[in-house]
Amino acid sequence: MKTRLLPSCRLALAAAALLAAAGCSIVPEAKTDPMRFYVLATAAAGAAAPAGAPAVQLREVELASYLRSRPMVVRRGENEVEFREFARWGEPLESGVARVLREELLARGAAGAVHTAGARRDATKTDAILTVRVLACEGLAGGAVAFRAIWELAPAGPDSKVPAARGDFRAAELRWDGKNEAALAAQLSQAVSALAAEIAVALARR
């Protein structure tokens, strides 16, 4: 007794035979990786520090807990934040803030040396200890940019000529389009540079 194949089965077998005869192979289509990585940057040009410029010990930058993840943050309301999973910081955010602060303070001639947490120190005497805590570092869905940091300068010893100082810095008039994370990273870089400028003024009051 002959077995009859259903029309659908005959079509499937015919298609398989044609592929085999043509020597074809099915290759999965390559997908583009959507992940993008960003860093804070500074455009400050180096300047020679004046004689007697203080040596600063920059403690490890503290972040508000919701900022400690790698995805960039966009705030959508008073109590809602969005983590951009495909737009990530290329280094821990606290490291990026510390790096830009160091580069800016040196470039502005506000400090003769800036020692960051974990870095090897030379024999230079420390004149001031700088503490920075970042409370906001994000874009707002409406197009604004939020950056706030509390900072404090403390004399490193009884012989230090750097007076105690503190500030509550809030960036102003920074905008992005709500979509371009590269633009957001650039605006946040400007915010950290402005923070460094405020600290540089405090260091100059000696």
Q: Provide the pLDDT confidence category of residue 32 given band limits of 50, 70 and 90.
A: confident
Is 150:166 a contact under the CB 8 Å cutoff? Answer: yes
What's the pTM value of the predicted model, to 2 decimals? 0.81
In terms of C-beta distances under 8 Å and separation of at least 24 residues, what long-range contacts does 18-23 make, across chains too? none
Q: Is the pLDDT of residue 171 over 70?
A: yes
Q: Provide the pLDDT confidence category of residue 161 given band limits of 50, 70 and 90.
A: confident
Q: What percent of the chain has pLDDT over 90?
A: 67
Q: Catalogue the E-assigned strands of 28-164.
A: 36-38, 55-58, 62-63, 71-75, 81-89, 113-116, 128-140, 145-155
**Residue-range domains of the chain with CATH:** 36-204 (3.40.50.10610)
Averaging pLDDT over each range in 8-12, 53-57, 91-95, which range is the top one? Answer: 91-95
**Burial class of residue 20, CB neighbours in 10 A (0-12, 13-18, 19+):** exposed
**Running DSSP on this structure, what letter comes out for residue 130?**
E
Q: Provide the pLDDT confidence category of residue 142 given band limits of 50, 70 and 90.
A: very high
